[in-house]
A and B are shown apart, each in its own frame.
Chain A
């Protein structure tokens, strides 16, 4: 079994998928951190121009943002959900100001968490899909499945070794995303900020942001939380991708199907938020990090436990079906 897993890891590495993924990652991380740095410098310039002071105080732009939000929330025409999300941001900002937590100056650790929060619904799943889509379908389209399945090894072992190899590579991939986003953004911001405090565990109670159950953790710890959720999501995506990969005979259709579900799912959750079934779709539940930050939720009644359970069911069923289908499949290529 260990030899099988080793073989699969070797195949993944030799296919140079990781290089493509690293390349994509590097481009996106660089673009984003450059953009953030640029925006931050503009904020400082604006601050200096307006106040003619030289020492930048983050409270001023935070206050401005607060005023801006207040103005927008008093606009009669905006829908209630959006107003509620403004309210939450206002309360959060107030909390930051009251507790002297600087939400504006960018640091590497703030960036890596933000990158994960943004990437968890689409970008990171996509990287996992690139890694996993041809795991089985590639063997079919290249016909190498025949030399793999005519050995004295039962089929379930072959699929299991592929899945375990995929899990290992997915785990390492998530770590690489964390490290790369930290390192690259550090080059821009020159500020690590690993020990800065951050509040998490905001809860929404009676429509109010309750800060009672919040916890002060360091940025480092917070990033561990965020990336653990990313890891969980990635594993689920990997399992679902395995199912698709086992079902179709070509890697490109596997990637196509998954991209369509990921992107289509995003639309679904905004256009059909009223439709109860939407909350059971896996894509709707990918954004686990929003439960940690207390931000706006598109579908009412969803919670972290709910989302985790839904995803776990999707992942588990995908695995079961993958094994059943793979075991039964006639190899006709």
Chain B
């Protein structure tokens, strides 16, 4: 049962069949891990907290179980060049760890949210611990090496993974659920391809990466609310051209000899 306060706070999304009361409880009880707190992660986090991810029951001590948690992972600090697109940060945060800065901003939205910080860069060594017991993971990082490591650990642990990326005026995204075994993984996509990964040298327009983050947050909320019954697509790579307002979706089949998912 949602409290009166919760019904008020989430009323706009409770009206959606894709969320409703049951979905709202699922959203609150999920453990979501966001890796990378730049243009993707800092924006997605704001939407997830707003929608009730990790909304803890400090406000309602009588409720039996509240497992919900949002884990924020990044070792970076806020730089003035981030403010163009990383909308949760402002001049007050310059030089501060992104984890600390983001948590303080998110707590202004929901003071009772259960937010856990891992103020270090994710790598193949620490990822196993980072994603432990996660309901799902958001890959909001900015380089292929870490993206591959996140994919590998999520595929092997069968944790649903929501990937987004952006560069220039392009954004892309894919949802990977290795438990379903129906489509390929990030490794299937990028193996044999040398991806030009430097978003700094390519340039990026703030709202373009914001679109990717909004897509990612949308997919995650729909998944958390209804899990296996969520009306989302797995294994389809989205390629969007923000200048032309064009979005395409391509099926990613499993690669027969993928060393990660096969």
Question: A and B, one complex?
Answer: no
